[in-house]
Structure 1
Amino acid sequence: MNADTTRPRLPRTAAVTPGRGGQPRLLIDAPAGSAEIYLHGAHLTAWTPRGGRPVIFTSRRAVFDGAAAIRGGVPLCLPWFGAGVSGARRPAHGWGRISTWQLRSVESRADGGVQALLALERDGIAALYSVGVGEELSLTVSLRRTGAADAYADEPVEVALHSYLAVGDVTAVEVTGLDGAAYLDKVTGMSGRIQHGPLRITAPTDRVFDSGAPVTVTDPAYGRRITVTGVRARNTVVWNPWSAGAASMTDLDDDEFASMLCVESAVVGGNAVRLGPGESVSLGTRIAVAPL
């Protein structure tokens, strides 16, 4: 889609500038935190709370060409996840992360943060994405079926906020909050498995949990805990490609698997939502950081 050239009035804490590959991005440098959001995919590629360490991982080999999905950050997987409920949808993870979004508004907040709103309408679905940047990161995406022609109108809608978290050493992190939750192991293809105790990353990991409860990533290498709290989430996805997976990706350096862990709030699979004309679904996530 062609970019909308209109730009909202910006506060002094924000600017739209060319980024990597010359792609337009919104830069936020506010008293409570900083962030970077590319209009391609409405893709947040960086967030740092004021005085802290960067929390979001983006690959140094990520492609910024306005066509390919950006590796890292927070890709928007919508209106389907993977190949969709039917298993036949393309491109993988939907068109949200590879479309150009319109920047609707950017406003300063009383708490020293910034709130940005982006929008996209395509294939009978209108999407709104709200990004709150401050001492916490708050993301909310809403999808509404407009009733316009949609080749996928009979298939349920899925959405995921595919957050790549920056960690010091993924082999040392401990993921808690999922104890007792059932999950689909996409590495082995086995479903109905149950998580017992904390999750540790020791091999390729791709699990879709039937839980939207808050998840905490304890990262001793960086001396912090990152808590991901889903809002209206019905699933949590935990993913790391490990060394073999990283080696197969041209946009991820071989060693970068150790510096990231995806913990994403989602509504996918059996929890996908069937929308009639005018109906909507909303999903959010809040990411907060605390020292150990």
Structure 2
Amino acid sequence: MHINTPDAASTQRLEQLVAKTDFLRLTTSNAHYPNAMGAGLPLLIVETALCSAVISLQGAHLLEFKTIEGDPLLWLSPNCDFTPGVALRGGVPLCLPWFGVNQAYPDKPKHGFARNSFWELGGAHLLSDGAVELEFLFLSDANELFPYDFSAELRITLGTSAKLELTINNTDTEDFDCSWAMHNYHRISSLTDVQVLGLAERTYLDNFENYAAKHQSGDVSFTGPVDRVYPAIDNSVRISGSPSIEITHSDCPSVVVWNPGQEAAAKIADIGEGQEQFYICVERGAVLSEKWHLTAGTSKSAWMEFKQV
């Protein structure tokens, strides 16, 4: 499938919008991450009195976030490949219009194609509380991967927390199903000491055993590889470690917890040996049986927010 790239008109609109703000600046991955692999991608740098952040226009992908006095809350792989069309490893990739392996067509790319495509910055505002609100837009015509017209909007609000609100619009004449996840890679200081709180005694689906249903005894810890979907989780969850992070949500029924473990991480080129020690993924979304059904002409929205506690 063709991966879209910014045209001259969208680049000009972006530059004009950024020029009107005093909290945004444009750079490139080559300039900001001089040792990174890849031909390079355009990046937005956010700097306010409350926080700092880095966002890739490819995927409307939040790569870094920290409050002024807080710790970095996202992990970005030192082996991330900034080649256009290649998924970026770390931060908060948006998996859309499906999560993981496409259940109906396993040969299609994992995690959809929105994260590999460029989004347009449609608005940038400084709110009264000092937070920044950024609006990203994505249009997708029916194609060989997803045969329906749809659009998506991602509103990212950055202040004392990071909040991502996703709206998916069915602009087609037919109904469709889609699944999605905000695939948070959270930075941790020690994989052996970290736990995920809020999932104890719940059922999870184990991806290592074809999503077999299992019981979560106690809080989630990482004594080996973990790849689990926890359905029907209405409550917030917390990463207990350094830093300690609370993740709240609205209309994100699924929680996904993932760490590849030592052996698999060493075999994944854009992670690398030993890097699994420095992050865990705790994701919110609507996946597997909790996917969204959108009738023609309708929209659905959900949000996820995380902050240091």
Question: Could you state the TM-score of these two structures normalised by the residue count of structure 1?
Answer: 0.93
Residue 286 (structure 1) aligned with residue 296 (structure 2): no
What corresponds to 1:19 in structure 2? 29
Mark the CA change 1:155 to 1:183 in structure 2 (over 3 Å): closer, same or farther.
Answer: farther
Deviations 1:62-98 (A, max 9, x none): 0001110000110100010112332536211001100
Q: Aligned residue for 1:125?
A: 150
**1:55 deviation in Å?**
0.5
- Rounded to whole Å, the distance in 1 between the matches of 2:240 and 2:248 is 14
Tell me the residue number matched to 1:100: 118
Does the CA contact (< 8 Å) of 2:203 and 2:215 recur in 1? yes
Match of 2:127 in 1: 109
1:182 pairs with 2:209 = no
**Structure 1, unaligned stretches of length 5 or more?**
none
Q: Report the Cα distance in structure 1 between the residues aligned to 2:40 and 2:128, rounded to whole angstroms.
A: 32
Partner of 2:83: 65
Aligned length: 283
Point out where structure 2 has 5 or more consecutive residues left out of the alignment. Answer: 31-38, 143-148
Q: Please report how far the alpha carbon of residue 19 of structure 1 lies from its aligned counterpart in structure 2 after TM superposition.
A: 2.3
Q: Secondary structure at the match of 1:48?
A: strand
Aligned Cα root-mean-square deviation (Å) = 1.5
1:173 has 2:194 as partner: yes
For residue 213 of structure 1, report the CA deviation from its aligned partner: 2.0
Residues 4-53 of structure 1, C-alpha deviation per residue, up to 9 Å, x if partnerless? Answer: 22222542011122223431111101111110000011111000111111
Question: CA offsets, 1:147-187, max 9 Å, x none?
Answer: 16xxxx66511010000000001111011101222110102
Q: Once the 2 structures are TM-superposed, how far is the Cα of residue 288 of structure 1 from its aligned partner?
A: 1.1
Q: Does 1:215 align with 2:225?
A: no
The verdict on how the C-alpha distance between 1:28 and 1:170 changes in structure 2, with shifts beyond 3 A counting, is: same
Equivalent residue of 2:245, what SS? strand
Correspondence for 1:157: 178
CA distance in 1, matches of 2:169, 2:43: 25
For the residues of structure 1 that align with 2:292 and 2:306, how far apart are their CA atoms? 24
Match in the other structure for 1:252: 271
Identity %: 29
Counterpart CA distance in 2 for 1:283 and 1:170 is 29
Give structure 1 regions of 4+ aligned residues with deviation exceeding 6 angstroms.
Answer: none
TM score, norm. by length of structure 2:
0.88
Matched residue, 2:245: 226
Q: Distance in 1 between matches of 2:246 and 2:189?
A: 16
More helix by share: 2
